């Protein structure tokens, strides 16, 4: 078992292990809401919207973890909540609004990169490195995780009703508009809490893959949420071990492992996998003949 424990004899990997568990579980849990809402592309737009915020913050105030994090928060909230505002106050739908806003913001971020004096260090925020997280970074991630998980758990029932039957939710007195803003804001904060681990380019994979994988195994919302959380945490830890022994970038390894698990589930899931569908079709053809 030495090959399994050796990476975590190093302090940076011990800290990375804790970060992987927290970030992986939180993203996996929230992933269920993203998948059920069919909002993966919207979330992807937000992940790209982080770049201009990071670039502006670094350009104005210098490259620090707090500045980059604050810039990402401001940019994501402006683009995400701004798209909701446009959709609710005009004839433009949110997808179209996001398409306009995030591409304009991303283009502005690319232009601003010419004025940033530390492109090598900025790469850490673009592609992530969970090994570089400090104790203060861990506390920030932990705070976001607790707030998000508690909030989503407390409001899980009205959120689920809102996702599946918005008209019924309104008739029950659920403030659908406010809940939309709340859910969107929580997804944004969870997304931003992952950028040091996987970077703003790959954050979408961590936030979508666990829920998409679990959807191939279960129809139960509770199993989807908690299963996604545990899958995200376990896959992130496994990816750390893989990245240590193969000398791969940790952020890319996390998303790659989650992608590999999804492909396996897509093929071999006993409920909705390709193999099980083929077996059922074969049995049906045999019984029909």
The rounded distance, in Å, linking the Cα atoms of 201 and 48 is 6
Query: Max alpha carbon distance in the chain (Å)?
Result: 74
- Domain coverage including residue 106: 2-288
The total of structural domains in the chain comes to: 1
pLDDT in tens, 5-44: 788 888 888 888 999 999 999 999 999 888 887 776 677 6
If pLDDT is split at 50, 70 and 90, which confidence band does 282 have?
A: low
- Give me the CATH number covering residue 49: 1.10.3470.10
Cβ neighbours around 41 below 10 Å, total: 12
Contact in structure between 175 and 159 (CB atoms under 8 Å): no
Residue 237: its pLDDT value, please?
Answer: 93
pTM above 0.85, yes or no: no
Residues 132-170: tens digit of each pLDDT = 888 888 888 899 899 988 888 888 888 888 877 878 888
Distance CA 242, CA 9 (A): 15
Average pLDDT score over residue span 178-199: 81
Quick one: how far is CA 14 from the chain centroid? 22
Average pLDDT, the chain: 82
Under the banding of pLDDT at 50, 70 and 90, the label for residue 1 is low
């Amino acid at each position: 078992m030495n090959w399994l424990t050796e990476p975590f004899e190093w302090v940076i990997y011990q800290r990375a292990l804790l970060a992987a568990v927290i970030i992986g579980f939180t993203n996996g849990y929230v992933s269920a809401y993203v998948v059920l809402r069919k909002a993966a592309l919207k979330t992807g737009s937000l992940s790209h919207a982080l770049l201009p915020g990071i670039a502006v913050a670094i350009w104005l105030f210098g490259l620090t973890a707090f500045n980059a994090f604050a810039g990402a928060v401001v940019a994501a909230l402006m683009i995400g909540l701004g798209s909701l505002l446009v959709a609710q106050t005009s004839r433009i739908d949110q997808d179209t609004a996001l398409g306009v806003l995030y591409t304009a913001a991303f283009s502005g971020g690319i232009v601003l990169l010419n004025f940033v004096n530390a492109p090598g260090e900025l790469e850490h925020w673009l592609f992530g490195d969970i090994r570089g997280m400090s104790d203060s970074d861990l506390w920030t991630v932990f705070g976001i995780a607790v707030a998000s998980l508690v909030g989503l758990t407390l409001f899980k029932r009205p959120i689920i009703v809102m996702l599946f039957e918005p008209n019924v939710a309104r008739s029950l007195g659920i403030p659908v508009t406010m809940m939309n803003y709340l859910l969107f804001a929580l997804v944004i904060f969870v997304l931003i809490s992952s950028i040091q681990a996987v970077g703003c380019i790959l954050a979408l994979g961590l936030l979508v893959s666990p829920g998409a994988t679990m959807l191939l195994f279960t129809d139960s919302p509770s199993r989807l949420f908690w299963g996604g959380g545990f899958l995200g945490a376990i896959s992130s830890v496994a990816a750390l071990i893989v990245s240590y022994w193969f000398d791969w970038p940790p952020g890319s390894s996390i998303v790659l492992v989650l992608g590999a698990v999804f492909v396996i589930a897509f093929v071999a899931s006993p409920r909705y996998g390709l193999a099980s569908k083929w077996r059922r079709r074969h049995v049906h053809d045999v019984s029909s003949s």
